[in-house]
Structure 1
């Protein structure tokens, strides 16, 4: 019997499986079968977790369409809690991803991840997010493994969010794979953020790497300091902090939802 677990990180939810239990299954095919909300478990993606040592686990990430991607902040926090819940590693441990190693610290009230990312604000662009001259906004293309297009706006409460963001997601000047799109609005000391995520091809309730990308963009624009508090669409808080030696910390919730069994069709 092969088990999976569902976890959510600030509203971004995932099926998590042990890599050792996949057998001959292709993880991308499994993701396409388990993730859809109409016919599957109903999650944003699938994560495989494989033990490398008593303090290290290897992660792989798959979108609900079966495509693989390199990193995921909310998914990494969920996988870190999963690994601790299963007794694979201690509360402080290392996650290995295609984008490098992450130091994870799992606590009862949340999970903190410390990265040494090759992240940079690649260039400033103009993005249309409305009609008329006011619809033209400054935007920033941030590279951190995945491309992120960060667009500051007066308010994230916009109509037809998916229809608005879809053309931005496929802009030719963000690269051949397109980009995740994030609308960001300041509300006092907090930044509100909404995300249109590639692979999902629609809005997700949270995006951890998107919050980090948005923090890079706001900081580059002189609109934020070394700590940025975000409120994602689910209403959950995520905190991004810039540390010494080019490291960055992402802190937020990661919660177990339920366990399940692979259906026969995926075996």
Structure 2
């Protein structure tokens, strides 16, 4: 099988061009290839497929083999892949995902994609649709106790997948391998959750670390950055346009007040092409 390793500010995936080949058992393949010691090493597997309703389709599998609904960093890489490799030569793309069709605006420099701005659509704040099991219709700055007894004030948002955002004073020193999993599997999240820990730097800047369901800590999470920006604005900590500093780099997120759509912009990078026996 031929594949391409790409990353969006350190959030790395293995991409397969399914216009040319379709691997069998992609869930099991994601587990095998994502292993950083015995496989290629990645946060998961993304299949770039033909679509009947858009320019292409993105099918995503997390490192544990579970299906991902949406990936903001991954979809930027899909945009760069299909343009730079000549599959779709448009600077505005429609990409089909399990969270609906997303519009990508490609920034072309010297014939290749240097960055991608994605319309991620409106945030979902209704608890039942995120989903979150909670007594109130929305979960905004609500106190929740973790299994280990910690109290977190959380805001929950879906950007096509469920996110739980909490604000902390120290992101770098946080014991994420401890706190991330216990919140990912908290009983209030029937489909698990992506957990974001956010430090507000200024009304225009935040810093974020993320524990992604099915993958653990990743260097970046596009949907998580969008959810964190929305949560920061909802709690009055920032404006609606922020730069999000993640472990692997920066994203710019803009929550449009008129349309309610969230826009995310950042780079996408090729790492290498390879062939592997499957």
The answer on whether the counterparts of 2:198 and 2:228 sit within 8 Å (CA) in structure 1 is: yes
Give the distance between the partners of 1:24 and 1:253, measured in 2 at CA. 27
How far off its partner does 1:225 sit? 1.8
Deviation per residue, 1:119-167 (Å, 9 max, x gap): 22631332468x99xx634211212332111011112022432112221
Deviation, 1:105, is: 1.6
- Secondary structure of 2:259's counterpart equals helix
* Off by >6 Å, runs of 4+ in structure 1: none
Q: When the two structures are superposed, what TM-score results if normalisation uses the length of structure 1?
A: 0.89
Unpaired segments ≥5 residues, structure 1:
none
Query: Cα gap change, 1:172/1:261 in structure 2, threshold over 3 Å: closer, same or farther?
Result: same
- 8 Å Cα contact 1:121-1:216 kept in structure 2: no
Q: Deviation at 1:24?
A: 5.6
Give the CA RMSD over aligned residues.
2.1
Q: Structure 1 residues 231, 47: closer, same or farther in 2, change over 3 A?
A: same
Give how far 1:23 is off: 3.7
Which of residues 104, 116, 119 in structure 1 aligns to 2:121?
116
Q: Is the Cα–Cα contact under 8 Å of residues 186 and 192 in structure 1 kept in the other structure?
A: yes
Other structure's SS at 1:150 match = strand
Q: Secondary structure at the match of 2:117?
A: strand
Partner of 2:99: 99
Q: When you count helix as a share of all residues, which structure comes out higher? A: 1
Deviations 1:184-232 (A, max 9, x none): 00123310000011111x2110000001111111111112222011000
> Partners in 2 of 1:67 and 1:80 — Cα distance?
23
Shift in CA distance, 3/85, structure 1 to aligned 2, threshold 3 Å:
same
Gaps of 5+ in 2: 108-112, 128-138
The 1:54/1:138 distance shift into structure 2, 3 A limit, reads: closer
